[in-house]
């Protein structure tokens, strides 16, 4: 009996499964539909809601450094009044009688442009001396387009630096970096106003450090970079990958007038020292001992029987000057100042300039085969004559 019941149940179940398969295949609409759970839909942000968090910095991008430093870089527009040469015919009284003075001197305004860096929220701006050297009027354009007149606080032709000031407060000042920590190969960005097209950022690397002997300035210790620097970039910022100021763009080596991948910037360590003195006293004070020096070439070293070419040979001594009073003579070789070795004339110039006028300094000399140590009272370096 149980066996017959099991057979009936198995046959019934098989028939039902077969029927379900046939119906689901041929007539699926006859079967009851299962409810589909609702899918979530992203809601639009409410008016005034907080914006999404900013994306993470992109690899290889210096956008953050530019955003941090570019508001402190300004465009500088200068103008001056120039007079055209007097017509030589006006020297003839007969010509003046008939034609008057209309062919006389003509007054025109010449304009030029450059860049600058805001170094203080209270309106101090650092730029190149040659940008504002002969200007009658100086106008500064901020990154937001606002324009203001500026005046010269002071300048230093021997480093080609000048400090301006505008009548404004709470300006976006740049942060100072460490130019002494720069290494060849470090990434740098040049920000300025080349050719007057507007604020422009170029990138490159530090190509060399301590460049001198270029005869651009009296005191040279340039950062060389291949970041594109063009006319109008002078006085602009050279910043590191964090956006900190490491130099003031000053000059380029070029045969065409445009960038050829060799640009020079004044280190921020020099710029900061000059800026602080100008803001404090309106001028820059440097030490001076009244000598003219010459580089020691291998030929000179052999002629003077020197062991090497290090040092600076005294080629001139100002009569009555500090060095003359101390006993320095022509042909002496200056080897050290206050214990610091003198490698070449440029190093000697920098060491002497750093001395405090009125202070006593010890200088080491080599005179023929003798080594001497003299004490000199440091004088104040005279101002260079103004260029016409």
User: Catalytic amino acids?
Assistant: 130, 160, 234
Q: Compute how many other C-beta atoms are within 10 angstroms of the C-beta atom of residue 149.
A: 11
Q: Which of 200, 209, 208 is nearest to 229 (CA)?
A: 200
Q: Which of 233, 211, 213, 235 is nearest to 224 (CA)?
A: 211
Say if residues 165 and 150 touch (Cβ distance below 8 Å): yes
Rounded Cα distance between 81 and 252, Å, is: 28
Coil, helix or strand at residue 10: helix
Q: Give the pairing type, strands 263-267 and 222-225.
A: antiparallel
Rounded Cα distance between 234 and 238, Å, is: 11
CA angle 27, 29, 30 (to 5 degrees): 75
Residue 60: DSSP 8-state: T
Q: Write the DSSP string, 224-269.
A: EE-S---TT-TT-EEEETTS-EEEEEEEE--SSSS--S-EEEEEHH
């Amino acid at each position: 009996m149980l066996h017959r019941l099991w057979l009936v149940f198995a046959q019934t179940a098989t028939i039902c499964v077969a029927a379900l398969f046939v119906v689901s295949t041929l007539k699926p609409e006859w079967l009851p539909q299962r409810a589909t759970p609702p899918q979530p839909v992203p809601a639009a942000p409410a008016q005034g809601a907080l914006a999404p968090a900013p994306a993470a910095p992109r690899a290889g991008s210096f956008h953050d450094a530019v955003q941090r430093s570019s508001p402190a870089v300004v465009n500088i527009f200068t103008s001056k009044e120039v007079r055209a040469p007097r017509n030589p015919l006006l020297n003839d009284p007969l010509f003046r009688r008939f034609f008057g003075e209309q062919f006389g001197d003509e007054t025109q305004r010449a304009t030029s442009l450059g860049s600058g860096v805001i170094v203080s929220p209270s309106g101090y701006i650092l730029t190149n001396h040659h940008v504002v050297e002969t200007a009658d009027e100086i106008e500064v354009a901020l990154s937001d387009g606002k324009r203001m007149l500026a005046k010269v606080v002071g300048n230093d032709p021997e480093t080609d630096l000048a400090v301006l000031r505008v009548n404004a407060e709470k300006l976006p000042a740049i942060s100072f970096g460490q130019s002494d920590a720069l290494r060849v190969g470090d990434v740098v960005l040049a920000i300025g106003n080349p050719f007057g097209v507007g604020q422009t950022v170029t990138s490159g690397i530090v190509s060399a450090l301590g460049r001198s002997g270029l005869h651009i300035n009296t005191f040279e210790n340039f950062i060389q970079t291949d970041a594109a620097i063009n006319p109008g970039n002078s006085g602009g910022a050279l910043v590191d990958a964090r956006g900190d100021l490491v130099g003031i763009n000053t000059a380029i080596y070029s045969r065409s007038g445009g960038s050829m991948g060799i640009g020079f910037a004044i280190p921020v360590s020099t710029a900061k020292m000059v800026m602080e003195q100008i803001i404090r006293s309106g001028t820059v004070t440097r030490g001076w001992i009244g000598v003219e020096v010459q580089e020691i070439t291998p030929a000179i070293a052999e002629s003077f029987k020197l062991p090497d070419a290090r040092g600076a040979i005294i080629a001139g001594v100002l009569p009555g000057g500090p060095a003359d009073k101390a006993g320095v003579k022509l042909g002496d070789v200056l080897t050290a100042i206050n214990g610091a070795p003198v490698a070449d004339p440029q190093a000697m110039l920098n060491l002497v300039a750093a001395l405090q006028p009125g202070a006593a300094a010890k200088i080491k000399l080599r005179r023929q085969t003798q080594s001497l140590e003299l004490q000199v009272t440091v004088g104040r370096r005279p101002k260079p004559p103004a260029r016409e």
